[in-house]
Every structure is written in C-alpha cells, then in structure tokens.
Amino acid sequence: MNSSQRPETGGALPPHPTLRRYYGRDADRPRFVRGLFDSAARDYDAIEGGMALGTGRWYRREALRRAGLAPGMRVLDVAIGTGLLAREAIRLTGDPLRVTGLDPSAGMLVEARRQLGVRGVLGVGEQLAVRTASVDFVSLGYALRHLSDLTVTFREFFRVLRPGGIVCVLELTKPSSRVGYAALRIYMRRIVPMLTRLRTRNAEAELLMRYFWDTIESCVPPARILAALDDAGFEDVRRALAIGLFSEYTGRKPGPSQVPVGPARREDRDNFFVRKMRR
Ligand SMILES: C[S@@+](CC[C@H](N)C(=O)[O-])C[C@H]1O[C@@H](n2cnc3c(N)ncnc32)[C@H](O)[C@@H]1O
C-alpha cells in the first residue's frame, strides 16, 4: 500500500461509530456489551452453532494453524467468551495450561473455565492484566467490534508478545459483492434473531444477535484494521479472507523469535476457501 492509499492512523480508532439505539454514549458501551454477554452466556454456544457463522471448530482451528500457532506456544486468547477459539488453541498447543483466556464478562469466563479448565482473567483487551513479553501468540476471535479502541488494544497485544510472537485476529467482514451482502443482511437481520429467540427463549440473546449484525455493518474497513496493526509495531501484517466473509488478520512482533517450535506461519496459496488479500 503506498502512502496516499494508506488510511490515516495513530489516534483512537473505535471499531464502529456510536450505535445510539443500543446505548446513549460511548462511555456506556462497555457496560452495555458486558451485560449482553453476561445474559447470553448460557445460550451462547447454542446460538453460535445454530447460526453457523462462527464457522465451527474446524475453521477456527485451521485459521489458528494458518496464523502459525504450533505446539509449545504460550497463548493469550483475548475475549475468550465460552472458549470456542481457545478450545482449538488447546488442541494445537497440546496443553490447556499454555492457554490463558481473558474476558470482561464474568458469565462467559465461568463457561470457559468450566468447559476447558483454562486459566481465566477478568479484564479487557484495551488494558491487559498480563506481563510484558510473556506470550508467543495472541488471538482475538470475533470480538474486535466490541473493543473501544483498536489503536490502544493492538499496542497492548504488541506489549505482551515476546519478540517473534504472532497476533491473530479473526473477524467477520461485510461481503464486498452486492448479492452476498444483501443475502447476509437478510439472514442476519431477520432470520438469525428470530431463530435465536425461538431456540433460547432469551430476549437478551435475540438482542445480542441484532447488535451483532449492526456492529458488522458499521465496522471500520479492513484497511484501517491492517494500518492499526502496522502502527502498533507489527511487521508482515496481512489479511486472508475465507469464503468472502471471514477475515484473518495476522502480524508478527519484530525481533529474534523465542517461539518454542519456530514460527510455523503457513504460506498458504490461495485456494477456493481462503484468499490472501492484497493490501
Ligand atoms: C462473540 S464473543 C467471542 C468468543 C470467542 N472468542 C469465540 O471465538 O467464539 C465476544 C466476546 O468478547 C468479549 N468482550 C467484549 N468487550 C471486550 C473487551 N473490551 N475486551 C475483551 N473482550 C471483550 C465479550 O464479553 C464476549 O465474550
């Protein structure tokens, strides 16, 4: 990307504008989001499995593998939720004690601890209660839209990684094709909230799904996210896109790698499922 194409960066970067129909001021957003996830925690896995948009275990595991997660690495999974991504990280590292999860929702964290036996830290991505240069891999699965500031959060990711460490952010991105976008919009706006309500009988879970789509629709474009990772200090920052919808942002902290098994980040060629995106 040349400098004229590069979006302006450096200042605060909220992932989306204020969504006033859900919360009045930006300052109220963290409490609103925490409340939503606390109330939906017990139903989250059912909702996720039902709408098939978290893409299931196989995709999460393959995305982590593509990013370079390998046995022996120490992982921090930010926004662990009920542990859907952390579960796959454990499979790849081979040890639950090597994976630490962090989340501001006590309800979600309780589920993750119960299901996986991982160490759980109550906290937010913007201010990690984790030692500097103490992990080899930081993951963030489907939670970028819930952060208050990507600039601050990516700097925190950079701080806690050891030299050579890897950041991997998985997130849904609006399809660029008009047909794909229109189809997803109908599915996410109309069908998913209705199915969620029927399946869970939980009004908060339905609200979560409505909020989910509104944050995807108003999320900053991939170029801003890549630029924020660059600005935080990461090198070799890239994005791959699976089935036109699932973005995988990765980068590496410069310096000699102390990663136990060596950086296994895969140089996948494009295939029908995943496309490396030009910046
Ligand atoms: C959609 S869930 C993702 C769970 C999991 N990573 C996965 O792959 O399914 C989003 C999670 O982000 C958490 N979250 C919200 N705001 C956050 C913040 N500021 N920092 C870290 N996590 C946050 C929520 O509590 C929730 O558990």
Q: For ligand 1, say whether the CB of 100 is within 6 Å of any of its atoms.
A: no
The Cα-based distances of 200 to 49, 82, 115, 204 in angstroms read 12, 16, 20, 10
Q: Which atom of ligand 1 is nearest to the CA of 60?
A: 8
Q: Which domain holds residue 257?
A: 55-175+221-276
CB 33 near ligand 1, within 6 Å? yes
At residue 121, the pLDDT reads 96
DSSP 241: E
At residue 167, the pLDDT reads 98
* 71 lies in some domain: yes
Ligand 1 pocket, residue 78 CB under 6 Å: yes
Q: What is the pLDDT of residue 274?
A: 83
Query: Is residue 124 in a domain?
Result: yes
- Return the C-alpha torsion angle 25, 28, 33, 39, nearest 10: -120
Identify the CATH number of the domain in which residue 94 sits.
3.40.50.150
Query: The whole model's pTM is what?
Result: 0.91
Total domains present in the chain: 1
Is residue 156 situated within a structural domain? yes
Q: 169 in ligand 1 pocket by Cβ < 6 Å?
A: no
Ligand 1 near 141 CB (within 6 A): yes
Residue 37 Cβ < 6 Å to ligand 1: yes
Domain-embedded: residue 40: no
What's residue 273's pLDDT? 72
Q: Does a structural domain hold residue 134?
A: yes
Inside any domain, residue 257: yes
Instruction: Kindly give the distance from the C-alpha atom of residue 146 to the centroid of ligand 1, in angstroms, as a whole number.
Output: 7
φ, ψ of residue 275 in degrees (nearest 5): -120, 130
In a domain, 210, yes or no: no
pLDDT at residue number 201 = 87
Pocket test for ligand 1, best of 16, 80, 192 (most atoms within 8 A of CB): 80
Measured in Å, residue 42 CA sits from the centre of ligand 1 at 14
Kindly state whether residue 211 falls inside one of the protein's structural domains: no
Contact 155, 235 (CB under 8 A): no
What does the pLDDT read at residue 51?
67
Task: Going residue by residue through the chain, which has 279 residues, state the pLDDT in tens, using 9 for 90 and above.
Answer: 555 556 666 799 999 999 999 998 989 999 999 999 999 888 888 887 766 655 688 999 999 999 999 999 999 999 999 999 999 999 999 999 999 999 999 999 999 999 999 999 999 999 999 999 999 999 999 999 999 999 999 999 999 999 999 999 999 999 999 999 999 999 999 998 998 888 888 888 899 999 999 999 999 999 999 999 999 999 999 999 998 899 999 999 999 877 765 455 555 556 667 888 867
